[in-house]
Amino acid sequence: MYNFGQHHGRPCGQSFMIEPGENHNNSKRETAFAHSDAESDPEHPRKIIHIDMDAFFASVEQRDNPRLRGKPVAVGGSRERGVVAAASYEARKFGVRSAMPSVIARRKCPELIFTKPRFDVYREVSLQIRAIFAQYTPIIEPLSLDEAYLDVTENLQGLTSATKIAEQIRARIWAETQLTASAGVSYNKFLAKLASDYRKPDGLFVITPEMGPILIEALKVERFHGVGPATAAKMNRLGIFTARDLRGQSLEFLQEHFGKSGSHYYNISRGIDHRPVMANRVRKSVGAENTFPRDLTSLEDMRAELEPLAEKVWRYCDATGVRGRTVTLKVKYADFQIITRSRSLTAPVADKTVLAAITRELLATLHPIPKGVRLLGVSLSSLSCDQAGDDPQMILAF
């Protein structure tokens, strides 16, 4: 299962996610935007924009509720095991961060106002901003509801300046949503993403091919997109703290210690990143899960909690036309051990009742359950249709 907690997603108590699968190029892109697909050519650097909405969920809440403006706001559950899904800039001043347990957030900022996420509204805004992007390029790779890479090397407006495009997009986002976005402009994805962080909020930053290698030299490996805490710790143990340290290592050394990712690290430490912006992502699974305020011990309680999860997965399937053959139940025990049980049908699951029945059967196979259950998840995979838009992951929690 895609672990969105450590990546781009915003974890919260209950969540809904879609797992990214293989990337597929669409034909339009291959014909009309042939250059963009190719490995970056030093003669003709690509033009990549990374757009990132500022404190997205929290900003939407402040926009729609004047009472919250100028106040420290956390979107997420305030209950015991709740997690902050997004924090307003006022809350960040107190050290409140997304993915932080709500209990800690409240300790850091006693005035913190918790507000429930409204994913339907975030999804709507997300579609609005996608429509703006689409006026410039069909090569849009969303990372989450509020973040996307755009390849504008060749764009629909015939503009030569990627910076100008980024400015126009930011202005349109503001005009249409009254929300601010930050943009990073560069010649590859890694640097574009890095750049969008430089002038946040409501900023734009450009990293040119001349600037790239110099700018990242002193950058801490923790700040590299795609380097998680575990990898960063491993690098630190090997004496690698910055991009400069990383550059000091041979490709062989990095491959030996980091496998396939070794060459990626070797390249990005030099400001090189050949990954194309991937327009059509195909999903592998659709799932919903919930962490409970208290561990569940009775089978009845667990069955009761499964129902809304199956319901949520099915609601998504209904809305998008996605169908799947494989049902998976995920159980996280009180000691954090995770187990999964799956069942595959010969044909796609026909309706909500069938989905719910299979999840109950899968749960029954675990009986007697040896320890308390902290989390339950239901997902559907072996998907047969991909009409669900193009979010590599989505969180539609309530």
Binding site for Mg ion (CB under 5 A): 52-53, 56, 146
Of 17 and 181, the one with the shorter C-beta distance to Mg ion is: 181
CB of 323 to Mg ion, least distance (A): 32
Backbone angles phi, psi at 290, to 5 degrees: -145, 130
**In the complex, residue closest to Mg ion by CB:** 52
Contact 242, 219 (CB under 8 A): yes
Of 146 and 151, the one with the shorter C-beta distance to Mg ion is: 146
Backbone angles phi, psi at 222, to 5 degrees: -60, -30
CB of 199 to Mg ion, least distance (A): 13
Q: Which residues contact 100 (CB under 8 A, 6 or more apart)?
A: 83, 84, 87
Read off the DSSP letter of residue 109: -
Rounded Cα distance, 187 and 190, in Å:
9
CB of 391 to Mg ion, least distance (A): 14
Residue where the block lists tokens 């404190």: 55
Instruction: Look up residue 357 and give its amino acid.
Output: A
CB atoms within 10 A of CB 316: 19
**CA nearest neighbour of 246 among 263, 228, 226:** 263
CB of 240 to Mg ion, least distance (A): 28
CB of 266 to Mg ion, least distance (A): 29
Is 147 noted as a catalytic residue in this protein? yes
Name the CA dihedral angle for 21, 25, 26, 27, rounded to a multiple of 10 degrees: -150
Of 143 and 268, the one with the shorter C-beta distance to Mg ion is: 143
Identify each DSSP E strand in 66-211 by its residue range: 73-76, 84-87, 113-115, 140-144, 147-151, 181-186, 204-206
Q: How far is CA 167 from the centre of its chain?
A: 24
> Which pairing describes strands 48-53 and 324-333: parallel, antiparallel, or unpaired?
unpaired
Which is the catalytic residue, given 90, 147, 154, 289? Answer: 147
Cα end-to-end distance, the chain, whole Å = 20
CB of 5 to Mg ion, least distance (A): 16
Rounded Cα distance, 366 and 330, in Å:
11
CB of 255 to Mg ion, least distance (A): 33
Of 310 and 391, the one with the shorter C-beta distance to Mg ion is: 391
Of 56 and 133, the one with the shorter C-beta distance to Mg ion is: 56
11: left (phi over 0), alpha (psi -120 to 50) or beta: beta
Farthest CA pair distance, the chain: 65
Of 19 and 52, the one with the shorter C-beta distance to Mg ion is: 52
Query: Is the peptide bond between 368 and the residue preceding it cis, with omega within 30 degrees of 0?
Result: yes
**CA nearest neighbour of 355 among 311, 292, 389, 305:** 311
Of 24 and 223, the one with the shorter C-beta distance to Mg ion is: 223
Q: Active-site residue numbers?
A: 147
